[in-house]
Each structure stands twice: as C-alpha cells, then as structure tokens.
Amino acid sequence: MTHKYTPEELGAFISPFEVMATGADEGPLKGLTFALKDLYDVEGHVTGCGSLRWAETHEPATQNAAVLDLLLAAGATLMGKTHTDELAYSLLGINPHYGTPLNVRAPDRIPGGSSNGSASATAGGVVDFAIGSDTGGSVRGPASFCGLFGMRPSHDRISLAGVMPLASSFDTAGWFARDAEILERVGNVLLQSDGSGSNNMPSKILLAVDSFERMNDGARQVLWPLAEKIAQSLGPVNEVRLSENGLNKWMEVFRVVQAREAWNNHKEWIEKAGTPTDWGVGARFKMGSQITDQEFEKGCADREKITAHMNGLLGDDAIIISPTTPDIAPLIESSRDFFAAFRDQALSILSPAGLARLPQISIPVTDINGAPLGLSIIGPRDQDERLLHIATVIAGQM
C-alpha cells in the first residue's frame, strides 16, 4: 500500500475520526487503535445501524457493548464508529444514506458488507484493527474483497450484549486485521483466552470441492492450486463434498431461517418506522415477513441436520479449506441483477459455517487483476484459538 489514506478519503467513519474512548494504560493490546462497527453501543452515543430512521428513533446508549469494554480494558483505543449496510442486512457495502466506503485495494469495486466501514478503515491503515459483525458473511466477505484477515468466531463464544441483533442464532462479533499476529492478539482478548493449548495442528485437512465448484471459473483456476499447496503443508489432505444435496440447498435453509429471525427481531420497529430504504434490505425483510411458521420450523430442523453433518466431518481436530467468496469484489457500477446473483453465489459458499455455528477465518492469499481474493479455514466449534494459530502458521508460509 503505497498511498497513505486519510479517514476522509476512506469514507469509512460515521463519527469524527478522533479518540472516542481511551484504552487502559496496560494490557495485551496497549498502543493499538481500532474502529467499531455502528451496531455496537458506545455510552453516550446513538447506535445508528446504518439507518437514518434507526438513529432518529433511538436514544443514546447508556453503557458500552461488552466487546468494547473488553478491548478498552486490554489497552486498545477506539478511534470512531464505522459505516454498515442498513441494519447490517447485506453483503455489498453500499448504503443509500451514507454511500460506499473505499476498497483501497480495488477502488472501483465494492468493499463488501455489512462490515464495510470496518474493513475499509483497517485496509486503509488508519487503525490497527476493527470490529465488525458476521451473520451471513459480513466479516469474511469484506476480508476477502479488501485483502484482510477476518474472523467469524464460533456462535456464542463472544458476548453480543449491547449489539443490535439481526438474526440472533447466526450473529457473531467478528474482527479484521492486516496481519495474522494482530488478528490472534485481538482474538485472545475477545475470546477471553491466553491462547495456551492452541498450538496443536489438525490431524486432517478437508478440501471442500463443492465450495470451489461454486466459484467463477477464472477465480477457481487461481485459488484451487494455492489451496492444495496450503492444505498439503498442514497435514494429510482429503477432498470432500460438504453437501450431498448441493450447497444451494443449504443456502436456502440459511435464507429462510435468517430472514424469519431478522423479521422477528425488527417487525415492531419496521411497522412503526417504515421499510428500510435499501432496495435489497427492504426486499429481504419483506421476504422474512412472508415465511410461515411451518417453513421456519422446517428450516430450523434442516439446519440441525446440517450442523450434525458438519460436526461429523470435522470431528475434534480437522479443518476445512474453502474459498471465502466466489470471486474478487464486484465492480461498484454492477447492476442490481448482478449483485443479487453474486450474493446468492457467495452465500452458498459462506453459509456452511454459519449454519453449523462454526469459526471461520478468511486469509488473504492472492490477487486477480489487482483485486484481492481470500481463502478460508473452518474449524470445529469452540476451537477458535486453534484456528487462529493455524492462520498464523499459514501466513508465515506465504
């Protein structure tokens, strides 16, 4: 990164770029600065959630989100709150109220969402790391598009107290960093772990063939050889198909359960304040309102079958290697139809970890035509610390 970006050039922040909360004098993150997605409460400030209406209809927070208090106690200093897609319900990073933060690695392409501002701020170098959230891919996707390390932790490993919910059984507190060492340091703080006992390497490496088949041809031809090389460096490799019925079927299960949960969480507010103005977000909430109890219950049952299957594949100490996204970031000027099709394609790759409540890390491994593309590792549930260690091992080989 030759150009040093200013916060104003990035367009990543909804608040002034300045010290918003000072970290403790000592701690494992002492001296590091960070940004916080505008879903997390900061005492005395309104949490806007990417929506003018939300900001207008909510009072300032009376206390900090639990994640923020952990980071401040560890010595990190908050430099501001970052943009998100409206109500965090998108993978694009385009907001009708606030615009699109800069993808510094590919300025003519989207940064990805919904943690777009956090990804832009980290990639642009104005903070050392940033906090996002990941429900369907909102950290993993932007990490791939912006050339970052990005982690979705195991569901329920990190408290979401003081964070706007989207789909509660999928929501996680994720984070971005430009290098694996900081990713791991932040992770140990958020996971409230010293990282000990996390150095065991996996006994088996599973290459998710059907996830790679969901990629666009050119991107797959670049990423597959890299995935094979990385897999072989870690241990015994097996090629597997994650889904016997096809990943599109899994994606539909994800969409049904997520959309109904999102509608349940925000029905009352939407009926008072009006449908979100983002065309895609509004359509998804409408879809959620039309999902029947029977459809939702079937989706939840199918999800548990998927979870059992994924847990069986991983056992206690295997990892899955998968693409993070089907291709590099789409061009900002792409059509709505293109964005909608790309989102479905991306969700078919991203949904397995979310459905099974598993940790996943996107690792920057290559560029195509100058734009970044990430590769992911998925681990057994609650083995987040070990996954972070494996990411540092992979980074050290590159």
The tokens for 101 are 């933060």
Cβ-count burial 177-199 (b if 16+ within 10 Å, e if not): bbebebbbbbbbbbbeeebeebe
237 Cβ neighbours under 8 A, 6+ residues apart: 205, 206, 207, 228, 231
114 is catalytic: yes
Q: How many CB atoms lie within 10 A of CB 280?
A: 20
Provide the phi-psi class of 236: left if phi over 0, else alpha when psi is between -120 and 50, else beta.
beta
In the block, tokens 């394609």 appear at 345
pLDDT tens digits for 171-228? Answer: 999 999 999 999 999 999 999 998 776 788 899 999 999 999 999 999 999 999 999 9
138 is catalytic: yes
Residue 208 Cα distances to 81, 241, 397, angstroms: 36, 6, 21
Which of 182, 187, 185, 184 is closest to 172 using CA atoms? 187
Confidence bin at 232 (pLDDT 50/70/90): very high
Q: Which helix (H) or strand (E) holds 5?
A: none
Is the Cβ–Cβ distance between 227 and 394 less than 8 Å? Answer: no
pLDDT of residue 22: 98
Q: Which helix (H) or strand (E) holds 149?
A: strand 149-152
Mean predicted confidence (pLDDT) in 369-376 = 97
**Coil, helix or strand at residue 238:** strand
13 Cβ neighbours under 8 A, 6+ residues apart: 7, 35, 80, 81, 82, 83, 117, 121
pLDDT of residue 337: 96
Q: Which helix (H) or strand (E) holds 150?
A: strand 149-152
How buried is 4 (Cβ within 10 angstroms: 0-12 exposed, 13-18 middle, 19+ buried)?
exposed
pLDDT tens digits for 301-323? Answer: 999 999 999 999 999 999 999 99
From the candidates 51, 133, 138, 211, give the one annotated as an active-site residue: 138
* Residue 160 clears pLDDT 80, i.e. is over it: yes
Angle between helices 66-73 and 180-190 (to 10 degrees): 110
Which of 77, 398, 27 is closest to 192 using CA atoms? 27
Mean pLDDT, rounded, of the chain: 96
Confidence bin at 284 (pLDDT 50/70/90): very high
The tokens for 213 are 């088949």
From the candidates 51, 90, 114, 211, give the one annotated as an active-site residue: 114
pLDDT tens digits for 48-78? Answer: 999 999 999 999 999 999 999 999 999 999 9
How many Å apart are CA 101 and CA 17, to the nearest integer?
14
pLDDT of residue 2: 55
Provide the edge-to-edge strand list for the sheet that holds 129-134. Answer: 77-82, 33-37, 129-134, 172-177, 149-152, 360-368, 371-378, 318-323, 204-208, 237-240
Which of 26, 53, 25, 49 is closest to 36 using CA atoms? 49
Which of 371, 377, 391 is closest to 106 using CA atoms? 371
How many Å apart are CA 349 and CA 220, to the nearest integer?
13
Instruction: Please give the domain boundaries of the chain with CATH numbers for all domains.
Output: 7-190 (3.90.1300.10)
pLDDT tens digits for 350-362? Answer: 999 999 999 999 9
Three-state SS sequence of 18-45: CCCECCCCCCCCCCCEEEEECCECCCCC
Provide, rounded to the nearest whole percent, the portion of the chain with pLDDT above 70.
99
Provide the phi-psi class of 356: left if phi over 0, else alpha when psi is between -120 and 50, else beta.
alpha
pLDDT tens digits for 265-274? Answer: 999 999 999 8
Angle (nearest 5°) at CA 33 between 28 and 39: 105
Residue 140 Cα distances to 9, 136, 143, 230, 282, angstroms: 23, 9, 5, 19, 23
pLDDT tens digits for 98-146? Answer: 999 999 999 999 999 999 999 999 999 999 999 999 999 999 999 999 9
CA dihedral angle for residue 245, residue 251, residue 254, residue 255, rounded to 10 degrees:
-130
How many Å apart are CA 331 and CA 321, to the nearest integer?
26
Residue 166 Cα distances to 41, 71, 102, 117, 138, angstroms: 15, 23, 25, 18, 12
Eight-class DSSP state of 99: B
